Amino acid sequence: MNGFYRIAAASPELKVADVTFNLNEMMRLYRDAAYQGAAVVLFPELSLTGASCGDLFFQERLLKRAEEAALEFAAATAGMNCAAVFGMPVRAADALYNVAVVACEGKICGVIPKSFKENQRHFRSGHCIEKSVSFDGKYTSLMSDETVFRSGELCFGVNFSNNMNEALSFAAGGAQMIFLLDAAPETAGRAARLARQLEAATESGFCACALAGASVHESTTDTVCAGNCLIAVQGKSVAQSERFCRTSQLLLADIDIAGIAAVRTNKPDFGVWQFPVEELPVLLTESPDLRYAKIDAHPFDGGKEYYEDIFRIQCAGLAKRVEHTRAKTLVIGISGGLDSTLALLVCAECCKMLGRPATDIHAFTLPGFGTTGRTYQNAVGMCRELGVTLKEVNIKEACLLHFKDLGHDPAVLDVTYENVQARERTQILMDAANKTGGMVVGTGDLSEIALGWSTYNGDHMSMYSVNCSVPKTLIPNVIKHVAGEGDGELSRILLDVIATPVSPELLPADKDDNIAQKTEDLVGPYELHDFFLYYFVQYGMEPDRIAFLAEKAFEGKYTADVIAKWLKKFLRRFFQQQFKRSCMPDGPQTGIITLSPRGGWQMPSDAVCAEWLK
């Protein structure tokens, strides 16, 4: 079981009031979708008759044929492991209703009336009614707009596009998937508004939503429909059809229903409604191959506006802390690497915001045994371009003296050799902050914090940590965004920093003064670790499912064995290094995940990962 379900939204060709033509085209699309592995196929509002029949809706012949067609369609679903949701007019207790019908395994499983009339004078509102509906005198079903449908892991609700708020109540009632039938005429800008509405609804409802719109073959006497089909998942549009297409359209997407259920588990306040549940008579098929799944290899990445928000949050957080502590200086260690570069840019912008000179930033370059010419020159060049106060302290002599005090042979390049350097640097920064009445700005990022890739009481510690919830894979993008399109010396340096291999530079460089200690050779690719972190923390997902999603997201780049190797490394380090997170410094949450022990991830420092490694 993969937890994904393939969803189809169809906008068929139709002929207004020609039920037989419409039924045949709908069944053709239904079979096509079912053969492609779809679990549910959604059709537009009043799709059996056409939505623009006008007063023909009062005609006995049209209503009678629609009832017959509904039974024919339901019968066609037998043995298909695929449900159909379609629209039609029905009579109940001498009233006419615009309804959605759910059919599968040869029978009609539910009838959902439209409650919002939207200037349709032909139909009554069906809000909160429960009436029996007869189909051609051969089949009777209860009509209710407060029912959710379930088959296996998939639970879904059905409503209409102009009733978005009410549709969201299904999500609060347990439905991971909402199906919306639509037949509203197209107007300029409506498609964009509709996409935004679906994105907002699925984000707040922690759900997925599919919408099927009536096609251009509806009557054009006064209005035009566009055949707009949309599918959105948790705030993102994942599929959209071509509007104004003159042929039938079938839009497919693989939806991670298990993932939606998992993220809701992390939201204990979500879900207060209780709806009657209709169990479908068949187990709907899961997606066979995830061909239509949108699994983002970089789930933290949100684009340029996201980068801007991250940077502004960092700057605002630091500015508040500087004002509160009345810090005279901002003390920061500059290595020429990604993290310290972003932190330096944040410091520079913070000073601008507070109307303070850049010289209030005291940037220290602290060359050690592994510092290369490339990173050193970039660190110095950045500081000069930004106009900050630059100080250099070579830590080699102090470290050698400390090795002597410890009785450590400096030829032994072990963890002591590395951590002595990291702690010496932090000691210098802390003492410099004391001397200048300042505060040490930390540079460690979210990915390093997750892996514990820092020296305890070394670079692990600061007085305010501006990068603490920015994942490593986003930092180059934020730096690029801040650098803009400039062609000056600062932009050149920033681009070279981005191109430099990630390294703590604690081991000696090679004979050509190139970085010998590359972090990703030791702990694994950061893009994999960020992927693991996102699904582990945000979804609480099982490791085998994280690996499964990673194999799909990084197909052709990493093999299953490589992914498994680094996932085990991630799990071990994530659990073993919690003690560093339990006492991590303050810092601003910029994105969806923070590992702060105060307002984010709370976990015992001595928890074990044996169950996860199994």
pLDDT tens digits along 432-455:
999 999 999 999 999 999 999 999
Q: Report pLDDT for 484.
A: 80
How far, in Å, CA of 368 to CA of 501, rounded?
A: 17
pLDDT tens digits along 12-35:
999 999 999 999 999 999 999 999
Contact 365/392 with Cβ under 8 angstroms? Answer: yes
What b-and-e string marks burial along 377-407, b requiring 16 or more CB atoms within 10 Å of the CB? ebbbbbbebbebbbeebebeebbeebbeeee
Q: What domains sit in the chain, N to C, each tagged with a CATH number?
A: 4-279 (3.60.110.10), 304-613 (3.40.50.620)
Mean pLDDT across the chain, nearest whole number?
92
Closest CA to 462 of 436, 427, 437: 427
193-197: which pairs have CB atoms within 8 A and are 24 or more residues apart?
A: 194/161, 194/228, 194/230, 195/230, 195/232, 195/237, 195/240, 197/164
Q: Report pLDDT for 414.
A: 93
DSSP summary character for residue 536: I
Contact 42/177 with Cβ under 8 angstroms? Answer: no
Contact 50/40 with Cβ under 8 angstroms? Answer: no
How far, in Å, CA of 111 to CA of 145, rounded?
A: 8
Closest CA to 150 of 316, 25, 330, 275: 275
pLDDT tens digits along 76-112:
999 999 999 999 999 887 889 999 999 999 999 999 9
Q: Report pLDDT for 117.
A: 60
Contact 247/26 with Cβ under 8 angstroms? Answer: no
DSSP summary character for residue 229: E
Indicate the pairing of strand 277-279 with strand 177-182: unpaired
Closest CA to 159 of 76, 199, 102, 234: 102
Closest CA to 577 of 467, 418, 422, 450: 450
Task: Name the 3-class secondary structure at 446.
Answer: helix
How far, in Å, CA of 297 to CA of 530, rounded?
A: 9
Count of alpha carbons within 13 Å of 608, Cβ hemisphere only? 3
DSSP, residue by residue, 464-517: EETTTTS-GGGHHHHHHHHHTT--SHHHHHHHHHHHSPP----S---TTS----
DSSP summary character for residue 538: I
DSSP summary character for residue 181: E
| pLDDT band at residue 119 using 50, 70 and 90 as cut-offs | low
The token pair at 77 is: 């679903």
Task: Name the 3-class secondary structure at 234.
Answer: coil
Q: Report pLDDT for 128.
A: 62
Answer yes or no: is pLDDT of 271 > 80.
Answer: no
pLDDT tens digits along 298-308:
999 988 899 99
Q: 3-state SS string over 247-309?
A: CCEEEEEEEEHHHHHHHHHCCCCCCCCCCCEEECCCCCCCCCCCCCECCCCCCCCCCHHHHHH
- Which residue shows structure tokens 């330096």? 344
Task: Name the 3-class secondary structure at 117.
Answer: coil
Answer yes or no: is pLDDT of 467 > 80.
Answer: yes
What's the average model confidence in pLDDT over 316-332? 97
How far, in Å, CA of 111 to CA of 140, rounded?
A: 10
Q: What is the maximum alpha-carbon separation in the chain?
A: 100
| pLDDT band at residue 241 using 50, 70 and 90 as cut-offs | very high
DSSP, residue by residue, 8-63: EEEE----TT-HHHHHHHHHHHHHHHHHTTEEEEE--TTTTT-TT-GGGGG-HHHH
| pLDDT band at residue 139 using 50, 70 and 90 as cut-offs | confident
Q: Report pLDDT for 485.
A: 66
Answer yes or no: is pLDDT of 167 > 90.
Answer: no
Answer yes or no: is pLDDT of 120 > 80.
Answer: no
The token pair at 606 is: 């001595």
